[in-house]
A and B are shown apart, each in its own frame.
Chain A
Amino acid sequence: MAWGNQRHMAQEKQTTCKDPRLLVLYCPRCLASPLDDNELVRALEGQGCFLQPLPCSSKVKVSHLMKLLNESADGIEILACRDQECRFLTGSVRAQGRVALARELLSHAGLEHERIGITFLSSLNKGHFADFLQAKIEGLKKLGVNPAKTSY
């Protein structure tokens, strides 16, 4: 895979989005019910917050996080089940370990480790979920756009 050429491809597209993009990778069990509210999803996307459900938060690898930050994301938030609530028993613990490693690698590389976060939630309703993400979007706005990514 060629990593360096992506910048040129991105420059060709030249999107003008100046707001940071937050990618939310979440375990559906963090929510009280399945997220089938397209209006809410579209509203969040309008604010630069993109949702991606996972079978389990432990499916996230450090390489995924790096690739996403390198290509297009300004921030990544992983939503995992609370301790003792993961249906795969150690999924949340594994996700937590990987996030810790990813943040450490970012720090060593001179990048803002705050761009990757993990939160442990349980059966959140849609209203609280939207409020929670709103706070995350505001937090990411303070950090701004990821200067090291290829796609703008």
Chain B
Amino acid sequence: MIFGEQKPIEALIEKIAGHKKILIAGCATCVAECAAGGEEEVETLAPLLSMALRKKGIEISIETCVIEKQCEYEFLEEIAEKILHVDAVLSLACGIGVQALAERFKNTPVYPAVNTAALTIREQEGVWATRCVACGDCVLGETFGICPVSRCSKSLLNGPCGGTRSSGKCEISEELDCAWGLIIDRAESCGKTETLITVNKPKNWSTSSHGGPKRKERKDLKP
């Protein structure tokens, strides 16, 4: 899922200070899962902002809402009426949700309240770790389901490197597993270590963000 973290409250105050009435819009999908922009976070931020602003002598009326999926135009229609009565929107969605709101409601400023950080898995309660960088050319089939692009500090397609510690951790942190160490362990459990001899060719990075903005079309799904 998409992982996000709330921006510092001072940065939010700076953005909304000039407005009279704002809407705080949460999203009930990914950012709710990572406790950055769901209903609980919206209902926490609204009174907190209200108090912080009041202490600074700024009076702003704050409305709240939570959209099921802020990244889809269809789900934005439910706030179309509400948004007519506010000066600006503070969105707690990921970067996609913020842009969807801004594209749908062109006359209303939309500010992000969350920094979209990574594509993660929830390893345990309160701990999220990167599992994908959306590179557009998946190599998981060659690496036993462990992504070296997102999990190796150097994104090496052939490893491990000389920086692996004897503990099986990465040289950059004792807390970070060596991705290639994990790949070798998984290959051993599958009884397929011989496949690791094959050298993976250099990756085509043009399918990643380095290749410029992506726009994908599926003719079978288009009206």
A and B physically associate: yes
Q: Which of A76-127 contact B (CB under 8 A)?
A: 105-106, 108-111
Complex partner residue of A109 from B40, B51, B63, B64, CB under 8 angstroms: B51
Does A1 contact B51, Cβ atoms closer than 8 Å? no
Complex partner residue of A70 from B21, B41, B47, CB under 8 angstroms: B47
Q: Which of B38-74 contact A (CB under 8 A)?
A: 40-41, 43-44, 46-52, 54-56, 59-64
Complex partner residue of A4 from B8, B44, B48, B61, CB under 8 angstroms: B61
Given known A-B contacts A109-B48, A148-B54, A67 and B43 have beta carbons under 8 A apart? yes
Expressed in whole angstroms, the Cα–Cα distance for A63 and B60 within the complex equals 19
Q: Scan B1-42; emit 1 where CB is below 8 A from any A CB, else 0.
A: 000000011100000000001000000000000000000110
Complex partner residue of B46 from A3, A111, A146, CB under 8 angstroms: A3
Chain B residues lying within 8 Å of A66, measured Cβ to Cβ, are 43-44, 46-48, 51
User: How distant is A35 from chain B, measured CB to nearest CB, in Å?
Assistant: 28
Q: Scan B74-110; emit 1 where CB is below 8 A from any A CB, else 0.
A: 0000000000000000000000000000000000000
Complex partner residue of B50 from A63, A70, A108, CB under 8 angstroms: A70
Expressed in whole angstroms, the Cα–Cα distance for A106 and B47 within the complex equals 11
Chain B residues lying within 8 Å of A67, measured Cβ to Cβ, are 43, 47
Expressed in whole angstroms, the Cα–Cα distance for A109 and B40 within the complex equals 18
Does B59 contact A105, Cβ atoms closer than 8 Å? no
Among the interface residues A1, A109, A110, which one has the most CB atoms of the partner chain B within 10 A?
A109
Does B52 contact A110, Cβ atoms closer than 8 Å? yes
- For chain B, the bracket of interface size reads 20 to 34
Does A105 contact B44, Cβ atoms closer than 8 Å? yes
Return the chain B residue nearest A5 by Cβ. B61
Among the interface residues A7, A63, A147, which one has the most CB atoms of the partner chain B within 10 A?
A63
Chain A residues lying within 8 Å of B52, measured Cβ to Cβ, are 109-111, 148
Return the chain B residue nearest A102 by Cβ. B44
Chain A residues lying within 8 Å of B51, measured Cβ to Cβ, are 66, 69-70, 109, 111, 146, 148-149
Does B40 contact A4, Cβ atoms closer than 8 Å? no
Chain A residues lying within 8 Å of B63, measured Cβ to Cβ, are 1-3
Expressed in whole angstroms, the Cα–Cα distance for A106 and B62 within the complex equals 18
Return the chain A residue nearest B24 by Cβ. A3
Query: Could you list 21 examples of A-B contacts with CB < 8 Å?
Result: A1-B43, A1-B63, A2-B63, A3-B50, A4-B59, A4-B62, A5-B61, A63-B41, A66-B46, A66-B48, A70-B48, A105-B9, A105-B44, A108-B10, A109-B9, A109-B48, A109-B49, A111-B52, A147-B54, A148-B51, A148-B52
**Interface residues, chain A, with chain B CB atoms under 8 Å away:** 1-5, 7, 61-63, 66-67, 69-71, 105-106, 108-111, 146-150
Contacts beyond the supplied A66-B43, A110-B56, A150-B50: 20 A-B pairs with Cβ under 8 Å? A1-B43, A2-B62, A3-B46, A3-B64, A4-B50, A4-B59, A5-B61, A61-B40, A63-B43, A63-B47, A66-B44, A66-B46, A69-B51, A109-B49, A109-B52, A109-B55, A110-B52, A111-B51, A148-B50, A149-B51
